[in-house]
Structure 1
Amino acid sequence: MTAAGTAQDGAVTKVVIPVAGLGTRFLPATKATPKEMLPVVDKPAIQYVVEEAVAAGLSDVLLVTGRNKDAIENHFDRAWELEKALEAKGDQERLRRVMKSQILGDIHYVRQGDPRGLGHAVLCGALHVGDEPFAVMLGDDLIDPRDPLLPHMLDVQKRYGGSVIALIEVPPELAHLYGCASVEPAEDDVMRVTDLVEKPEPGTAPSNLAVIGRYVLNPAVFEVLRHTEPGRGNEIQLTDALKTLAGMPADQGGGVHAVVFRGRRYDTGDRLDYLRTIVSLASERDDLGKDFRAFLREFVAQLPPEVEDD
């Protein structure tokens, strides 16, 4: 390794994953269980995210945690008693699945303390990241491994420098639910970002290109975040820092490009999307899919017709 966060070939190796949120949309389930540990079929959501990071070469993982998040640390630690019990039963398949989470990568933890927004959570990673580009991943977004996004973003960052964000196209009437970007074409599905607005008022979004939870950031973002005033929700918004970076010179770490993602993405940010994600992933499983799809067809066929409200 050379400087923090990069291998000898200049590849980005560090990723910051904020997991300190309270998960209020899933109460009461998240009263004692971190939202990130809710199962998506038979793996917690956070494991999908870490697996995606490691598959992209981001083996140095920093989880920004908070109070009552010990279950996340335990999940990525050894479970000696469980391992011994499975080994004694000769249950090698379940033993393999249990042990996978503890050998995924080099996982570190830091506490966020005060919940002051996504920008503040990213800033908590400054000491660990150092002065090299790094990735940020949000646990609400699961990217299908058949449509890898991070490797493309890392390549764009290597070619253009600065920072890179991921965008998806959303219906214009839903743009106010996201951070939205104003862009200019650069090449194919790569755009140059000229402006960003966090959850604009309905009808005022600069485009229907919405920011999703994958970023590759220049370390200049840390100094920008230190001077970013609280924005929407009285929180330090990463979107506001990226807007500042977009207007900064390249030799100061500025410039923001975007990759428009058109692959398969699953959302676990609210209850309905979480259920959709479970059904989608379970339906495609080799071990569950056939029987589960048969159940779904039978179940849907028995549903009564919807009655329109007057």
Structure 2
Amino acid sequence: MSTQKPIRKAVFPVAGLGTRFLPATKAIPKELLPIVDRPLIQYAVDEAREAGIEQMIFVTGRGKTAIVEHFDIAYELETTMEERGKDLAVLDPTRATPGDIITVRQQVPLGLGHAIWCARAIVGDEPFAIMLPDELMVGEPGCMKQMVDAYEAVGGNLISVLEVPHDEVSSYGVIDPGEADGALTEVRGLVEKPPADEAPSNKIISGRYILQPEVMRTLETQGKGAGGEIQLTDAMARMIGTQPFHAVTFAGNRYDCGSKTGFVEATLALALERADMGSEIREIAQRLLRD
């Protein structure tokens, strides 16, 4: 039987301005942009729930209150739908029970590491997950469930990784791998955007983490890194060797929804998988490609 503390909390850094999607994100948080008919943040929260996570911690900024409202009860909407005989089941995933959603503010944009540190009082002395909603991970089971299963076996710290062609590694953070056991790989080091001919592997970090609470103490004393920001990767690198550290190769598809092309790709891919529209979307795509 596992003796690890369970992963009950997940931190969602959602304070970014979404400038790559302007003007769409002038008034709408990028995390609420829909892939077909579900916003990005909903996919991430659903993935967390599947993994058994109970508490969602949103690290927000100014103008991001709509994210929290998405998980509130919309009395006017639900009353109107009921009066018109509409099925409310479509709203079930958007309802959070009291205490499930907690928000903290990142008042200045000092990087991902700083955003995670802002949640330190809520995380407390528990291991916790980190989920970047821009990274849409689609699999059965979901990426975080795969990671939690691995965590229950090995404990310590884990990150999700994906294998990419070697000529693409310079765009990502990659791991220096140790011993491998199936989807699990020991992490001996982390390298940020290495030249292709110097990269220790082709396994890139892909937006899902399970970390021990000691990372908060590391972030507390850490100076600024690349880009003048407090980098989470730097804090994780300092923990390697002091605690078990593994990578889980995700069995599924990853879409970079922080880019416009990745966003469109995700929309098309998920629409094609839908029973209610897949065949029609396929016909539309084929017609557009012929024209």
Give 1:160 shift: 2.3
Q: Which structure 1 residue ranges, 5 or more long, are not aligned?
A: 1-7, 249-253, 303-310
Aligned to 2:285: 296
Question: How far did 1:62 drift?
Answer: 0.5
The farther-off stretch of 48-57 and 198-207 is 198-207
Deviation at 1:32, TM superposition (A): 1.4
Q: Is the 8 A contact 1:197 1:240 kept in 2?
A: no
Q: 1:201 to 1:236 in 2, by over 3 A?
A: farther
What pairs up with 1:105-116 in 2 under 5 angstroms? 106-116=100-110
| Matched residues, number | 288
1:232 and 2:226 correspond = yes
Post-superposition CA distance 1:119-157 (Å, at most 9, x none): 111111111111111110001112224242222322322
User: Contact 1:147–1:264 at 8 Å: present in 2 too?
Assistant: no
- What do residues 163-202 of structure 1 show as CA deviations (whole Å, max 9, x unaligned)? 0001111122211111111011241121111111222345
Asked if 1:192 is matched to 2:186, the reply is yes
Q: For structure 2, which runs of at least 5 residues remain unmatched after alignment?
A: none
Kept in 1: contact 2:5–2:127 (CA 8 A): no
> Does 2:127 align with 1:138?
no
Name the CA distance, whole Å, in 1 between partners of 2:150 and 2:273. Answer: 31
Cα distance between partner residues in 2 of 1:229 and 1:201: 25
Question: Separation in 2 of the partners of 1:213 and 1:241?
Answer: 15
Alignment correspondent of 2:248: 259
Contact residue 137 and residue 215 of structure 1 kept, 8 A: yes
1:43 maps to a residue whose letter is R
1:104-183 → structure 2 map (5 Å cutoff):
106-183=100-177
Cα contact 2:56–2:102 (8 A) shared by 1: yes
- 1:4 maps to what in 2? none
Aligned counterparts of 1:38 and 1:20: Cα–Cα separation in 2: 15
Q: Relative contact order (C-alpha < 8 Å, sep 6+): which is higher?
A: 2
TM-score, with length taken from structure 1: 0.88
What's the CA shift for 1:212? 0.5
- TM-score computed with the length of structure 2 as normaliser: 0.94
Question: Using a 3 Å threshold, how does the CA distance of structure 1 residues 185 and 133 change in structure 2: closer, same or farther?
Answer: same
CA distance in 1, matches of 2:179, 2:104: 38
In structure 2, the CA distance between the partners of 1:262 and 1:276, relative to structure 1 (3 Å rule), is same
Match of 1:51 among 29, 40, 46: 46
SS at match of 1:223: helix
Correspondence for 2:59: 64
Q: Which residue of 1 aligns with 2:6?
A: 11
Q: Name which of 75, 78, 95 aligns with 1:102.
A: 95
Task: Give aligned-pair identity as a percent.
Answer: 44
Distance apart, 1:29 and its partner CA: 1.1
Partner secondary structure for residue 176 of structure 1: helix
Q: Which residue identity does 1:44 align to in structure 2?
A: P
Q: What amino acid is aligned across from residue 286 of structure 2 in structure 1?
A: R
* Partner AA of 1:154 in structure 2: V
